[in-house]
Amino acid sequence: MPSRQEFFQYFQLAGARLLLAPVRGGIPADPERWKPALAAQIRGLWTSSQENGRHLHEIAAELRSAADLFEASGSATPAHALKNIPRAIPVGRTPAVLREIAAHVDEWNSSPKGDVAMTTKELSLRFPRLIPILSIYFGQDGSAISDEMSGSTIEDGIQMWIDQVHPRCPWVLPGVAGECYEALALFHDEDTLDRFFAQEHGGGSGEPDFVEMLPLLAQTCIDHMKAHHPPVWERR
């Protein structure tokens, strides 16, 4: 079992792990192969950074830290922090390839390009709150549609989720409402919503379709905020 320090070190490289997700099976040493493989993911992380996600330069620094750890471990068992970070092919090139990717990420043109097709992994970066809700609460065997909730309405399921979030709602519900409308703006119709959230992420919408459930979820978040969390802050 990893120590507390190893646990912390593992999550210090979370951004690098996320960027390398498309090449989890191994990073090609040839830049002409890893650049197109990572292009959509880098673009997705840049989009996320515009909404206060990790900056690309932070992720580049994590890649360099991972390279240093791989280099320091040599032929020994890699540090726990490197778990789930893919190795290069061949393995001996791993530190050098990670540094090359870091330099590429640092120099990436911040204007999103449409010349690379969007991917499921890239799109999923836009819905860090919504995907788990639709999967855990409304997907197959979800807690909001379980046998214990038999006879309950979709409104009851949404309220159950909000009750579990409360009183942390100001830090959760507005973002969920925004992601609901972003999904409707991006995917347009029921077939596309179902493909992305249900078929590709195991999510569900309960009895209604996604086109009906997402506006309801968003409005319920807004109504709860109005009723229980007036906007109060200090100017400082």
Residue pair 203/139 in contact by the 8 Å Cβ criterion: yes
Asked whether residue 43 falls in the same domain as residue 73, the answer is yes
pLDDT recorded at residue 227:
97
* Termini Cα distance of the chain: 43
Answer yes or no: are the C-beta atoms of 139 and 197 closer than 8 Å. no
pLDDT tens across 177-220, in order? 999 999 999 999 999 999 999 999 999 988 899 999 999 999 99
Rounded mean pLDDT, 156-171: 94
Cβ atoms of 19 and 53 within 8 Å: the answer is no
Q: Is the pLDDT of residue 141 over 80?
A: no
Judge if 56 and 20 occupy the same domain: yes
For 90-101, write each residue's pLDDT tens digit.
999 999 999 999
Pick from 69-73, 91-95, 119-123, 165-169: least confident? 69-73
- Judge if 87 and 131 occupy the same domain: no
Domain boundary among the residues 106, 141, 166 is at 106
Q: Is residue 77's pLDDT more than 70?
A: no
User: Residue 176 and residue 217: Cα distance in Å, rounded?
Assistant: 8
**Pair (49, 12) in one structural domain:** yes
Is residue 120 situated within a structural domain?
no
pLDDT for 79: 79
The residue to which tokens 């802050």 are assigned? 233
Among 41, 71, 106, give the residue marking a domain's end: 106
Q: Is 135 left (phi over 0), alpha (psi -120 to 50) or beta?
A: alpha
Host domain of residue 23: 4-106
Pair (152, 217) in one structural domain = yes
Residue 150 sits in the same domain as residue 101: no
With a cut of 90, say whether residue 55 has pLDDT above it. yes
Q: Mean of the per-residue pLDDT values for the chain? A: 91
Question: Is the pLDDT assigned to residue 112 strictly greater than 80?
Answer: no
